[in-house]
Structure 1
Amino acid sequence: MSRRNVYLDLIPPRQAVQRACDALNRKELVQTETIPTHEAAGRTLATSVTARCSSPTFHSAAMDGVAVRAADTFAAREDAPLELQKGRDYDPVNTGNPLPEGRDAVIMIENVLQVDDSTIRIEAPAFPWNHVRRIGEDIVATELLLPQGRVLSAYDVGALLAAGIWEIQVLERLRMTFIPTGDEVLDFSQRPTPQPGQVIESNSQVFASLARSWNAIPSRTATIPDDAAALTQAVRDALASDAHIVVVGAGSSAGSRDYTKAVFEQVGTLLCHGINVMPGKPTLLAEAQGKLLVGAPGYPVSAVICFEDVLAPIAAYLSRRDAPQRRSLPVQLIRRTPSRLGQEEVVRLAVGEVRGRFLAAPLSRGAGMITTLTEAQAVTRIPTSVDGVEAGKTVTAELLVPEAELSRVLIHVGSHDNTLDLLADALMGLEVPLRLTSSHVGSMGGLTAVKNGTALFAGAHLFDPETRDFNFPFLRRYLPNLAVQVVNLAIRHQGLIVPRGNPKGIQGVSDLTRKDIRFINRQRGAGTRILLDHHLEVEGVDFEQVRGYEHEEFTHMAVAVNVLTGAADCGLGIRAAAEALDLDFVPLARERYDLIFPAEHAEDFRLQALLALIGTEAFKQRINNLGGYETTLTGQTMHPGQGLE
């Protein structure tokens, strides 16, 4: 058995960055090159630049009008106009024309009265050099134009060309090579379909996109299997190339088949193994042949932390550029967010504006969940000195999107439903795109969020057996003093999701007591969980007889995936989830899935746009196409006692 690696020295990212910067000689590592000036935007000047030409190179008119000798006009007054003769006293000029010999001022054409073809009249004097651009007014030949180390802007390019600089010396762009590793890793460029135990490699392309945003040049090698000799050769080959930085993807952790640390120690000097940030902990840094070696974690979100918190500032140092900075703002957490003492934790957030406050919902925290970054508007960092942040506390969020986008985010908290995905897509297709972010905490969690003002609206499908009504009995009980509007999104079919063909012949909840049935449940507070408990009670089944009752998932699709993969024999969920994964479905109930809006938000343009959208026939048709839904009530305001026929 291979010897496992051990994290001996977990250090803060800043310390890891400093170790790398101290170990690298950037002057020797990053050379200079000469490029055409007109292609230089975004590049870093290697040397200072002095102007070759002045700008302008002659005295020129700054306005359309007439060029005069100022002294000839001093007698002009409003009550005693002065007449001037063309050629003798003035010359017509346009903006940019050279100033005629002997002239030292320009009178704007608006202040000139044309008497005849050769005579003009003026009512105010001109002053020396009035409306004249003098030689060298902008740039003077031989003077310093731009200092070394400057990252060139589009405006700088214009100034360089105006000064007659056709070529400049700049730092070469950083070249970075990514080496993907792993027996289970499939090359994305081959468009593969992964089998069990296989994954599509994508970290190299996240890395490449980030590298380009740093003005670096990324490249990727073929995937290297989990073999120490093969990885060693791949790293040696990359070091022998023109790359300044070599990044090995995966293999940096502490497993018996993680070889990156041993390879780095063999070819160079290890700088750090592990940073005290979650996710991102298995980050490796080493120096070899004057170049930087990076061991990036395999999990996507961990890899992103490695790239952004460690590699980005090192790349900025080598390029003599400022490290990327995000705009930050205070946000209020809507749920308690635990963390581990002694390790900083980076938490992805869905952020939106409610009641003039920016509210943030922590997203799932798995290091392998790249979608939490696609869904997030921001991240926050929980410091090493605390073991979590309570709900309602204000934290600093680093924005992943422009701040203006936050006012177009709709925060939904409540029950999961597949129609929410349709809604999210349709909202982004509006003339003014709106972004829907959902926290799936169950129907009761949604009502609590509406009550606390931590959601713009909630989705719920709570059935009350006593009144045969949906949602309103729970609103009366838990939100008695809050005025709300209840609008139906869809009627949906709930039932038992089973494998294709229903091999175990499951016909109803009474079958859940069988010893050969493994059930997957929804979380406490979910309307689906409440529906299950109701039907168990009707059938006289004790929940303790249900094998798997304590095993919970947070969405209908997660329940369906458990059934698809054989982790469970059945679970309660919506027909649409079963049909999406080609599973069978045993009908159990029809229910109303309603959207609940606090009345105080009635004029919010986001909710008005949402309500207008779900009332359209086109959107109803999209719901019907999912299967397992009815849209006879979609878009209609619901009332207490309406129930469902």
Structure 2
Amino acid sequence: MKRNIYLDTVPMDEAVAKVRALLDRHALIGTETVPTHEATGRVTAEAVYARLSSPTYHSAAMDGIAVCAERTFSAREDEPLRLAPGEFVPVNTGNALPKGMDAVIMIENVVMNADGTASIEAPAFPWQHVRRIGEDIVATELLIPQNHELNAYDIGALLSAGIWELSVRERVRACFIPTGDEVLDFHDRPEPRPGQVVESNSQVFVSLARAWGIDARRVPPVPDRPEALTAAVTQALASDAHIVVIGAGSSAGAKDYTRSIMESVGTVLVHGIKAMPGKPSLLGVADAAHGGKLLVGAPGYPVSAVVCFEELLAPLAAWLEGRVRGRRRTVEVELTRRVPSKLGMEEFLRVSIGHVGGKHVATPLSRGAGMITTMTRAQGICRIPVNSEGVDQGEHLRAELLVPEEALERTLVTVGSHDNTIDLLADALMGLENPIRIASTHVGSMGGLMAVKNGSCHMAGTHLFDPETGDYNFPFIKKYLPDMDTVLVNLAVRHQGLIVAAGNPKGITGVADLARDDVRFINRQRGAGTRILLDWHLSQAGIAPSSVAGYDKEEFTHMAVAVNVLTGAADCGLGIMAAARALGLDFAPLARERYDLLIPRACLDDPRVQAVLALIKTEDFRTRIEALGGYETALTGQIMTPGLPLP
């Protein structure tokens, strides 16, 4: 089985420089004439010179009277000067200055007398409150240089100078070709079978490209057959596109044909960049017979593809059109946990960011290259340098913001155990008059306690059961946060149990069944309250964890456990009834437990926290919780005290 091997990875800036050195942008990108009023965002192809002056006449800059300044020099506060009709002319702002007049006196400094004269107490000086011809623009002067990206203010200046149309560079045009036997066209609204995926990378690219001013389009998915792929690429190169992007097929798989196809129509300059995700990216230039166009091989994993688009394609497209590439705003953030990294690779780390206790805290999200939802949940991206083996908890980095900085002040940071009620809360908070966004990170109940201890969040979801006292959360707070002032508020009482396939084909009814040879289990991560609950029940049943097939296989949310059961990857997993119900699965009850919100008292008066506490006390929100199934709301919104029994 032949595979592509790419060992010569290069830094991203070097990759871009290699392509720029070979691309002839002046031959590739032409010019066109467009109406001035439609030219915002376009790049001038040549210098623009003013045709008209602005203003084109001497004009009044204020409401008042126009006068000849020399005739007013005798005016004094103690001896006002009376101007007879004809010695002054009333004018409004923008009026042409009457012949013989060279100054304007503001109306508030003029007393109009009953006899038609005007009295002034101070002299005017020549050209006072007058906009002279050409004050702003002088005909024939340089107005806009070449290679200037036009903004709204430029359009106003151009029209004022009598420029009705102008020559600009063509918009960069790009064609995206999705590839893969497993790829389904989203236009068909398909229902994927195992081994199939809905094609979406093209629409991520098209949306990004249009935001960058690129005219982007996509063709239907092409199967992994060299002749079909070659035909699609050749057709795209024959079109008016300046850039041809081949989606997927850039890695080292036996059906990854992108490199060979690029080599058949041009030169491959880069195969592999020193970045994670994004390493398999390809860059090349088509030969003269195919227009000398830019060729891009984007990785198939969504987040890898985004790195390719943003770090390689975007700067090249901006350079082609003569634009200055914009940069995102950055803020300094404090990482909430340690993140190891591979030496020699620049890593793009998606993070959830919020403003907590006077600082910006960033919680790393999942690093999987295939997890596009980490982009939707991220408020920023941190770059771990090439020469670093990682960053420690508490270390400070710069984060590129994916949202306006002001949005961080409206972000509530929650860290801890996952629960479906947090999703309800996130939606309800965004429906408020002043919307609040939840940035939630699922690291388990113990992880939530540590985040509260480190000042990394506004609240933490926790449901830690202590067998010795029979109490929830307080024994753990006492042990791990002994000197910290916190408040514990109940969100719901929930039902935990074994999530099993619809119809429960294997007859799984309790923990004892987990020791059976024919039962495959899916577990929660270490530190999760659900994991702690499972371990207690296993010990009560005298079952060793090692005898549970799948005990070492972990997921981070109840919904992920349920999906494993739904797809047959596991026969059962411990989770909440709401997750089972959401996916049409069966449920064997095991325990009722409190799911509480742990809040540092220092955050209690924060408007975001107060909004949560007010919301969860409403009847409407309690009804929504109960509608999920497997929840009770008798304690919802109440402040908990040690030893409080379940209702």
TM tier, shorter chain?
A: over 0.9
For 1:541 and 1:249, the matched residues in 2 are separated by 49
CA RMSD of aligned residues (A): 1.0
1:118 CA displacement: 2.0
1:466 CA displacement: 2.2
The residue number in structure 2 matching 1:493 is 495
**Deviation sequence 1:139-184 (CA, Å, 0-9, x none):** 1111111111111111111111111111100001001000111111
Alignment of 1:49-198 (within 5 A): 49-87=48-86, 89-198=87-196
The residue number in structure 2 matching 1:458 is 460
For 2:94 and 2:557, the matched residues in 1 are separated by 69
Determine if the alignment matches structure 1 residue 548 to structure 2 residue 547.
no
For 1:117 and 1:22, the matched residues in 2 are separated by 80
Q: Could you tell me whether the CA contact under 8 Å between 1:67 and 1:91 is conserved in 2? A: yes
Q: Could you tell me whether the CA contact under 8 Å between 1:312 and 1:324 is conserved in 2? A: no
1:57 CA displacement: 1.0
Which of 474, 477, 490 lines up with 2:476 in the alignment?
Answer: 474
1:341 CA displacement: 1.0
For 1:477 and 1:24, the matched residues in 2 are separated by 64
The residue number in structure 2 matching 1:7 is 6
For 1:117 and 1:625, the matched residues in 2 are separated by 83
1:485 CA displacement: 0.7
For 1:39 and 1:549, the matched residues in 2 are separated by 63
**Deviation sequence 1:347-379 (CA, Å, 0-9, x none):** 100011111011110000000000000000001
Q: Which runs of 5+ in 2 are unaligned?
A: none
The residue number in structure 1 matching 2:440 is 438
1:117 CA displacement: 4.8
Question: Structure 1 length normalisation: TM-score?
Answer: 0.99
1:630 CA displacement: 0.6
The residue number in structure 1 matching 2:324 is 322
Q: Could you tell me whether the CA contact under 8 Å between 1:313 and 1:324 is conserved in 2? A: no
The residue number in structure 2 matching 1:344 is 346
Amino acid of the residue matched to residue 587 of structure 2?
F
For 2:336 and 2:354, the matched residues in 1 are separated by 11
The residue number in structure 1 matching 2:374 is 372
Q: Which runs of 5+ in 1 are unaligned?
A: none
For 2:16 and 2:379, the matched residues in 1 are separated by 26
For 1:373 and 1:21, the matched residues in 2 are separated by 29
The residue number in structure 2 matching 1:357 is 359
1:383 CA displacement: 1.3
Moved over 4 A (4+): none
**Deviation sequence 1:258-284 (CA, Å, 0-9, x none):** 001000111101111111101001111
The residue number in structure 1 matching 2:215 is 217
Amino acid of the residue matched to residue 185 of structure 1?
V
Q: Could you tell me whether the CA contact under 8 Å between 1:299 and 1:368 is conserved in 2? A: yes
Determine if the alignment matches structure 1 residue 447 to structure 2 residue 468.
no
Q: Could you tell me whether the CA contact under 8 Å between 1:485 and 1:599 is conserved in 2? A: yes
The residue number in structure 2 matching 1:599 is 601
For 2:206 and 2:378, the matched residues in 1 are separated by 21
The residue number in structure 2 matching 1:20 is 19
Q: Could you tell me whether the CA contact under 8 Å between 1:171 and 1:319 is conserved in 2? A: yes
Alignment of 1:376-525 (within 5 A): 376-525=378-527
For 1:41 and 1:227, the matched residues in 2 are separated by 42
1:8 CA displacement: 3.2
**Deviation sequence 1:609-635 (CA, Å, 0-9, x none):** 111111111111111110110111111
Question: Structure 2 length normalisation: TM-score?
Answer: 0.98
SS in structure 2 at match of 1:179 = strand
Determine if the alignment matches structure 1 residue 331 to structure 2 residue 333.
yes
Q: Percent identity?
A: 66
For 1:529 and 1:219, the matched residues in 2 are separated by 47
**Deviation sequence 1:316-337 (CA, Å, 0-9, x none):** 1101111130111211111110
Moved more, 534-543 or 598-607: 534-543
Determine if the alignment matches structure 1 residue 282 to structure 2 residue 280.
yes
For these two proteins, the number of residue pairs brought into alignment is 643
For 1:602 and 1:222, the matched residues in 2 are separated by 53
1:452 CA displacement: 1.6
Which of 580, 584, 587 lines up with 2:586 in the alignment?
Answer: 584
**Deviation sequence 1:497-522 (CA, Å, 0-9, x none):** 11111111111111111111111111
The residue number in structure 2 matching 1:30 is 29
Amino acid of the residue matched to residue 396 of structure 2?
T
Moved more, 492-501 or 406-415: 406-415
Amino acid of the residue matched to residue 9 of structure 2?
L
Q: Could you tell me whether the CA contact under 8 Å between 1:495 and 1:573 is conserved in 2? A: yes
For 1:450 and 1:219, the matched residues in 2 are separated by 47
SS in structure 1 at match of 2:190 = coil
Amino acid of the residue matched to residue 193 of structure 2?
Q
For 2:194 and 2:27, the matched residues in 1 are separated by 47
For 2:464 and 2:219, the matched residues in 1 are separated by 53
Amino acid of the residue matched to residue 81 of structure 1?
P
SS in structure 2 at match of 1:280 = coil
Which of 221, 230, 254 lines up with 1:256 in the alignment?
Answer: 254
For 2:241 and 2:411, the matched residues in 1 are separated by 42
For 1:440 and 1:108, the matched residues in 2 are separated by 66
SS in structure 1 at match of 2:537 = helix
1:545 CA displacement: 2.1
Q: Could you tell me whether the CA contact under 8 Å between 1:497 and 1:571 is conserved in 2? A: yes
For 1:103 and 1:398, the matched residues in 2 are separated by 57
1:96 CA displacement: 1.1
For 2:605 and 2:115, the matched residues in 1 are separated by 66
For 2:106 and 2:422, the matched residues in 1 are separated by 64
The residue number in structure 2 matching 1:305 is 307
For 1:522 and 1:220, the matched residues in 2 are separated by 40
1:437 CA displacement: 1.4
For 1:95 and 1:110, the matched residues in 2 are separated by 14
1:538 CA displacement: 1.9
Amino acid of the residue matched to residue 206 of structure 1?
V
For 1:84 and 1:483, the matched residues in 2 are separated by 78
**Deviation sequence 1:166-207 (CA, Å, 0-9, x none):** 110000100100011111111112222212111111111111
For 2:56 and 2:325, the matched residues in 1 are separated by 39
Q: Could you tell me whether the CA contact under 8 Å between 1:470 and 1:643 is conserved in 2? A: no
For 1:448 and 1:61, the matched residues in 2 are separated by 68
SS in structure 1 at match of 2:237 = helix
Q: Could you tell me whether the CA contact under 8 Å between 1:180 and 1:204 is conserved in 2? A: yes
Amino acid of the residue matched to residue 350 of structure 2?
R
Amino acid of the residue matched to residue 607 of structure 1?
V
Q: Could you tell me whether the CA contact under 8 Å between 1:332 and 1:358 is conserved in 2? A: yes
1:435 CA displacement: 1.2
For 1:544 and 1:284, the matched residues in 2 are separated by 45
